[in-house]
Structure 1
Amino acid sequence: MNWYVVYTKPKWEKKVAEKLIQLGIDCYCPLIIQLKQWSDRKKKVEVPLFNSYVFVHLNEAERNSVFQVAGVVRYLFWLGKPAVVKDQEIEIIKTSLKAPNISEVSVSPIQVGDKITLESGAFANQRAIVQEVSSNYYILVLETLGCVLKIKYK
């Protein structure tokens, strides 16, 4: 069984997770507590860590069962295939959010100028600088190899 990423309607993450659990589908919607301020008060609110994403733990054959739930839009795809999240990555998220000394967590997309380390493929463990981000590719500068890498995704 793999962890897949389901893309939901905006602000439907918690509702979708509840409905998936009712259907007997193992899912995980990481939540954090944020302090929200309105004009008349402040309040601590539980919000999803990843906007519009819920993780589901399913066999490949059962993947279509999530579409029974209102609010599910599609699966997140990476390189033309449904994005698969490793068990250890889900565990890291779970344990990190349980840590008592974390006061604020935010998730931001990769941006131009970010320094990253490639984790897999032919260039695994190589450090790169993000030069360009597009809707279907990244351009990375691999300084130690003296080359530019264009990664396309669908």
Structure 2
Amino acid sequence: MTASLKTQSHWFVLYTKPRAEKKLAEQLREDGIESYCPTQIKVKQWSDRKKKIEIPILPSMILVNIKDDERDKVFNRRHAVRYLYWLGQPAKVTSEEVESLRSMLEDSQFESQGLEKLKPGEKLDMTALGFEHIQGTVKFVTAQECWIVLENLGYVLKFKRN
């Protein structure tokens, strides 16, 4: 690997201990490491009350933007487990995919789309739905729910209408 590639930062997928995603992301930011824990607001029902809570959409995973030669710094925090690997290399996520994920979750444009037009197995260019630089495959769809497989992450995003 050349020296310039080692000093260039990339987004990596980092596994966390269960239910420690938000905490680890915050701790890494305190350490000066850019991290992102994508979340979604859900309403939880208990026997005596309802409450809106923020739930990570990538369970036990966060995204970190760090230089290749500094990747071990995340393990200074006890909630970091390991990096996700793809074909023997640490899995990298493009900046465009991270920004698209951010804008998708912030804008909540997904809620206003006509889900009934989507079919399972359909290759989906998310820009057609108002998102940028995300491509995926529709895995499951109903009038209230849609699962989209993000090939580069090897992950399924599940969306439900409230």
- TM category (shorter chain) comes to 0.5 to 0.7
- Unaligned 5+ segments in structure 2 are 1-8, 113-119, 124-136, 140-162
Match of 1:115 among 97, 121, 127: 121
Moved >6 Å (runs of 4+):
none
How far is the alpha carbon of 1:24 from its aligned partner?
A: 0.6
Match of 1:17 among 15, 21, 25: 25
The TM-score with structure 2 as length reference comes to: 0.63
In the other structure, the counterpart of 2:57 is: 49
How far is the alpha carbon of 1:115 from its aligned partner?
A: 2.2
Q: Deviations over 1:38-74 (max 9, x none)?
A: 1111100011111011100011001000000111110
Match of 1:76 among 59, 67, 84: 84
Question: Alpha carbons of 1:77 and 1:98: their partners in 2 closer, same or farther (altered >3 Å)?
Answer: same
Q: 3-state SS of the aligned residue for 1:115?
A: coil
The TM-score with structure 1 as length reference comes to: 0.67
Root-mean-square deviation (CA, aligned residues, Å) is 2.7
More helix by share: 2
Q: 3-state SS of the aligned residue for 1:51?
A: coil
Alignment length, in residue pairs?
Answer: 114
Indicate whether 1:4 and 2:12 are aligned: yes
Larger Rg: 1
- Unaligned 5+ segments in structure 1 are 105-113, 118-127, 131-154
Indicate whether 1:86 and 2:94 are aligned: yes
In the other structure, the counterpart of 1:36 is: 44
Equivalents in 2 of 1:100, 1:74: separation in Å? 31
Q: 3-state SS of the aligned residue for 2:71?
A: helix
Q: Deviations over 1:88-146 (max 9, x none)?
A: 00011011011144459xxxxxxxxx6265xxxxxxxxxx9x9xxxxxxxxxxxxxxxx
Using the aligned pairs only, state the percent identity: 44
Match of 1:65 among 36, 53, 73: 73
Equivalents in 2 of 1:83, 1:7: separation in Å? 11
Indicate whether 1:99 and 2:88 are aligned: no
Equivalents in 1 of 2:63, 2:104: separation in Å? 16
Question: Alpha carbons of 1:116 and 1:73: their partners in 2 closer, same or farther (altered >3 Å)?
Answer: farther
